[in-house]
Structure 1
């Protein structure tokens, strides 16, 4: 019984993470599009976001290899389990896929909101990884521990470019209500969605990898 419980928990955890890592690097392609249009000469800022994108892609591949070694596909989860998805939907009142990139390019207020959302999401990610590295069920799986150690090492570089841009341009830090939204999204997943998914024995598995249809240029570092 304990073995089944542990396998189910880790399977669901891996499925949520691989979704979020894939969503992370594909969403960053939209961010890069905006930054290259807004600030084409800010090579350092662009390079730091490119590194962020490359790290998210690397993390996705690590989770993919973890599943490939098991000989199975991740469970199918959608944007309701995506932290950045939920944050964008609440703050911008639209999905990531429907975001108006041109509006973000044209309006500093939109871009600074986006920077705060990304920064808060990445900081939340580090807190969660630190918790998982001490989780008894996760400790049972050396492969996952190795992945989370890499994520923990990479994570601080991910929010720094956006915080630095906000400071350099005299923009404010996140306010209490933005931090509350971040906490709400995390709690919603942890205490509502995760238990529901855990007990949903009818969940299907993905029938293809999330990056299978991506052009080679998108799958490689942007």
Structure 2
């Protein structure tokens, strides 16, 4: 039972992360589109967001390689377990895919709201990785630990460009109620959605990779991930 529990937990954890990393870099494509129109001469901001996008893509590739080496596919989880998905839905009353990019381009108010959402999401991700690096089940998987160590190193640079834009343009930082929404989404996943998924006997694995329809094909992570 303990071996089954550990495999189930790691499979589910990896499935949630591979979904969120993929959602991360595909959503950042929309952010880049907005920034390149709004601030075409702000090369430092564009470069920082491009690095964020590249890191998220790298993290996705590492999780994909982790699954490939284990010989299994991720579980077929969807946007209901996506932190940024839920945050955007609450703050914009729209899915990420349905978000009006042109409206975000045209409105400082909407763009600064998006910056706060991304910043809070990335900071939440950093704190969660710190917890997972000390998790007794995760620590038994050396390959997974190496992946989370890479994420821990990359993560602080991910919220920096959005916080920087807010400061540079005299916009406010997140308020307590935005932080409360972030905390609610995280608690909802840990205390409700994760247990339901863990105990769901009908949860099936994907038959293809989530990036199968990306414009660029998947490539192996630059970091070797082995057991």
Could you tell me the TM-score, scaled by structure 1's length?
0.97
Q: CA RMSD in A?
A: 1.1
Residues 157-188 of structure 1 deviation map (CA, whole Å, 9 limit, x = unaligned): 00000000000000000000000000000000
Moved over 4 A (4+): none
CA distance in structure 2 between the aligned counterparts of 1:214 and 1:128, rounded to whole angstroms? 27
Give yes or no for the alignment of 1:187 onto 2:187.
Answer: yes
Residues 51-105 of structure 1 deviation map (CA, whole Å, 9 limit, x = unaligned): 0000000000000000000111100100000000000000000000000000000
Residue 10 of structure 1 corresponds to 10
Residue 161 of structure 1 corresponds to 161
Residue 66 of structure 1 corresponds to 66
Note if contact 2:211-2:217 (Cα within 8 Å) is conserved in structure 1: no
Note if contact 2:61-2:218 (Cα within 8 Å) is conserved in structure 1: no
Give yes or no for the alignment of 1:33 onto 2:40.
Answer: no
CA distance in structure 2 between the aligned counterparts of 1:71 and 1:77, rounded to whole angstroms? 18
Report the CA distance between 1:217 and its aligned residue. 8.4
CA distance in structure 1 between the aligned counterparts of 2:143 and 2:218, rounded to whole angstroms? 27
Unaligned runs of 5+ in 2: 220-227
Distance 1:217 1:201, change over 3 A: closer
Residues 13-32 of structure 1 deviation map (CA, whole Å, 9 limit, x = unaligned): 00000000000000000000
For this pair of structures, how many residues does the alignment match?
A: 219
Higher percent of residues as helix? 1
Alignment of 1:1-222 (within 5 A): 1-216=1-216
SS at match of 2:137: helix
CA distance in structure 2 between the aligned counterparts of 1:186 and 1:206, rounded to whole angstroms? 24
Report the CA distance between 1:216 and its aligned residue. 2.1
Unaligned runs of 5+ in 1: none
CA distance in structure 2 between the aligned counterparts of 1:105 and 1:18, rounded to whole angstroms? 29
Report the CA distance between 1:214 and its aligned residue. 1.4
Note if contact 2:14-2:63 (Cα within 8 Å) is conserved in structure 1: yes
CA distance in structure 1 between the aligned counterparts of 2:103 and 2:120, rounded to whole angstroms? 21
